[in-house]
Chains A and B, each alone.
Chain A
């Protein structure tokens, strides 16, 4: 009844229970339940303001919850359970817990004062304490994996949006996360650059990475994702097999949304 075992293979990768979150009077998440299994690729769809980003940020504890709880890999996010109570973690402990979760942002958020290679090396070296030589080796490997073997010395401003986003994915992968969160990774890109980023994500899915992807790319959701979750107004309206939700949605709100984006 105290703390949970270290790695609970039976536990789902992500388990959100009755998650609530408000900004002032604005209740953004109104009781979200979501379970994501190991190796599952789930896409979050929904109109603007429906709380998709907020949910992703809660999973990574970039926001604190107002109600409910989230577990990642069997560990409660942001709290320690002890004797029937949840104790808030210190910032350092929260930080340590995040190492297992990679996050990719809409606006890339690469570190502008570091080269592509240094961006990818930064966290392994300074967070995990990996040796520089080894971290550099791994960073080169990751840049190859995202299709940028020739760009290690480039600063972010010297790269196109698609290239920056691929470096950002490599940077997140450098911590060897078991879960990747993507918040509209292609929304800030010119249309012709979207494909190269989606290709990298497709490769990750193929390699068995657990992913939660907020996206407006319906084609990607249909092809790559195991499950589609449709949110509106802070609740999960409908979820299920992509083919079913995207072609024969049962809810009017889903139909209405899909008619606008398709």
Chain B
């Protein structure tokens, strides 16, 4: 039974016809999808209230484009705040210092434990309980003092709300990424005489990045959509701008379609970039094909 059966195979095995597995379920699913699509197209075609002319007209309207720009800026700045602060928090959580671990843990607990909408409103209304922010000796003389309302503009409140919240999530992502790197890697780096900082930079983080990048790209895409929450503090990003317009002309649905189209364009672009970056990151992993790199220092061919 355990003898190699290949050698005993009777002739003809190689070119016998193969009956492929059939998938009747796929046909049923396809039929359902076609019917639903037809119903949707019919709804669009027979509902003049959707006003495709208005949608087209507002798509490139100036204030909408300005709102779009604010959305992109908010996303970028809040994400940078989130990534930098999140990495710092992750390293703190993995540190030997119990106080740092505790502080970082508390931060993550606080910011993940309250709704982001509440946090946004909180920063926006901070001026009502803390009219002035001052720099100086703790409990001692003040050096500078600024009115909270000039310091925390709408944009600053949005960045604080979105960025500080994002940092809590990024901290968990970065921590998981660092945790996924084998302990033997740090030991090998240390055994070569690398300082803790150098081994983080050269050995741990580059490997952790493979685990960190995909969820970070997802975070970026969610952040793009989360910026629409700034509606509640009246910051004129994409959705707020659309709302301002439909508040005047009562064309809610066409303007919401305009905003949706832009959100979709941006998220689609980001998804494409995400796929590319992930493909590039998979260097040095079995199963993924490493593209031969062209930097001469790295190629194996000697001059």
Enumerate chain B residues within 8 angstroms of A175, measured Cβ to Cβ: 192-193
Enumerate chain B residues within 8 angstroms of A105, measured Cβ to Cβ: 184, 187-188, 191
- The 8 Å CB contact of B190, one of A62, A154, A168, A172, is A62
Structural contact, A91 and B195, CB atoms closer than 8 A? yes
Which of the 9-residue segments B7-15, B99-107, B212-220, B278-286 touches chain A? B278-286
CB-nearest residue of chain A to B209: A113
Structural contact, B194 and A113, CB atoms closer than 8 A? no
Which of the 9-residue segments A23-31, A94-102, A205-213 touches chain B? A94-102
Chain B nearest Cβ from A117, distance in angstroms = 6
Which of the 9-residue segments A121-129, A189-197, A249-257 touches chain B? A121-129
Chain A nearest Cβ from B237, distance in angstroms = 38
Query: B297 at the A/B interface (Cβ < 8 Å)?
Result: yes
- How many Å lie between the Cα of A151 and that of B301 in the bound state? 10
Query: A220 at the A/B interface (Cβ < 8 Å)?
Result: no
- The 8 Å CB contact of A155, one of B182, B203, B283, is B283
Query: A55 at the A/B interface (Cβ < 8 Å)?
Result: no
Structural contact, B206 and A109, CB atoms closer than 8 A? no
Total interface residues in chain B, CB < 8 Å? 30
Enumerate chain B residues within 8 angstroms of A92, measured Cβ to Cβ: 195-196
Query: B198 at the A/B interface (Cβ < 8 Å)?
Result: yes
A148-180 contacts to B, CB under 8 A, are 151-157, 168, 171-172, 175
Structural contact, A122 and B190, CB atoms closer than 8 A? no
If A105-B187, A112-B207, A112-B285 touch, does A127 touch B192 (CB 8 Å cutoff)?
A: yes
Structural contact, A113 and B302, CB atoms closer than 8 A? no
B168-195 contacts to A, CB under 8 A, are 182, 184-185, 187-195
Enumerate chain B residues within 8 angstroms of A128, measured Cβ to Cβ: 193
Chain B nearest Cβ from A157, distance in angstroms = 4
B254-303 contacts to A, CB under 8 A, are 283-286, 290, 292, 297-302
Interface centre among B184, B190, B283, B284 (most CB of A within 10 A): B284
- How many Å lie between the Cα of A112 and that of B191 in the bound state? 17
Enumerate chain A residues within 8 angstroms of B189, measured Cβ to Cβ: 111
Structural contact, A152 and B285, CB atoms closer than 8 A? no
Structural contact, B193 and A157, CB atoms closer than 8 A? no
Enumerate chain B residues within 8 angstroms of A101, measured Cβ to Cβ: 191
Structural contact, A115 and B190, CB atoms closer than 8 A? no
Enumerate chain B residues within 8 angstroms of A114, measured Cβ to Cβ: 284
If A112-B207, A157-B285 touch, does A171 touch B300 (CB 8 Å cutoff)?
A: no
Query: A258 at the A/B interface (Cβ < 8 Å)?
Result: no
Structural contact, B193 and A98, CB atoms closer than 8 A? yes
- How many Å lie between the Cα of A126 and that of B203 in the bound state? 11
Query: A202 at the A/B interface (Cβ < 8 Å)?
Result: no
CB-nearest residue of chain A to B292: A153
Structural contact, A113 and B198, CB atoms closer than 8 A? no
- How many Å lie between the Cα of A245 and that of B230 in the bound state? 78
Query: B202 at the A/B interface (Cβ < 8 Å)?
Result: yes
Chain A 199-219, CB-CB to B under 8 Å as 1, else 0, gives 000000000000000000000
B207-254 contacts to A, CB under 8 A, are 207
Chain B nearest Cβ from A89, distance in angstroms = 12
Chain B nearest Cβ from A214, distance in angstroms = 14
Chain A nearest Cβ from B299, distance in angstroms = 6
Structural contact, B284 and A157, CB atoms closer than 8 A? yes
- How many Å lie between the Cα of A111 and that of B285 in the bound state? 11
Query: A43 at the A/B interface (Cβ < 8 Å)?
Result: no
Enumerate chain A residues within 8 angstroms of B299, measured Cβ to Cβ: 153
Enumerate chain B residues within 8 angstroms of A136, measured Cβ to Cβ: 297
Chain B nearest Cβ from A27, distance in angstroms = 22
Query: A118 at the A/B interface (Cβ < 8 Å)?
Result: yes
Structural contact, B198 and A127, CB atoms closer than 8 A? yes
CB-nearest residue of chain B to A106: B184
- How many Å lie between the Cα of A146 and that of B190 in the bound state? 22
Structural contact, A122 and B202, CB atoms closer than 8 A? yes
- How many Å lie between the Cα of A103 and that of B186 in the bound state? 13
- How many Å lie between the Cα of A77 and that of B15 in the bound state? 70
- How many Å lie between the Cα of A186 and that of B239 in the bound state? 63
Structural contact, B195 and A95, CB atoms closer than 8 A? yes
Known A127-B194, A155-B290, A157-B284; further 17 A-B contacts with Cβ < 8 A: A62-B187, A62-B191, A95-B195, A95-B196, A107-B184, A109-B185, A109-B187, A110-B188, A111-B207, A113-B207, A113-B283, A115-B300, A117-B298, A122-B202, A126-B194, A152-B300, A155-B283
Which residues of B does A touch, CB under 8 Å? 182, 184-185, 187-196, 198, 202-203, 206-207, 283-286, 290, 292, 297-302
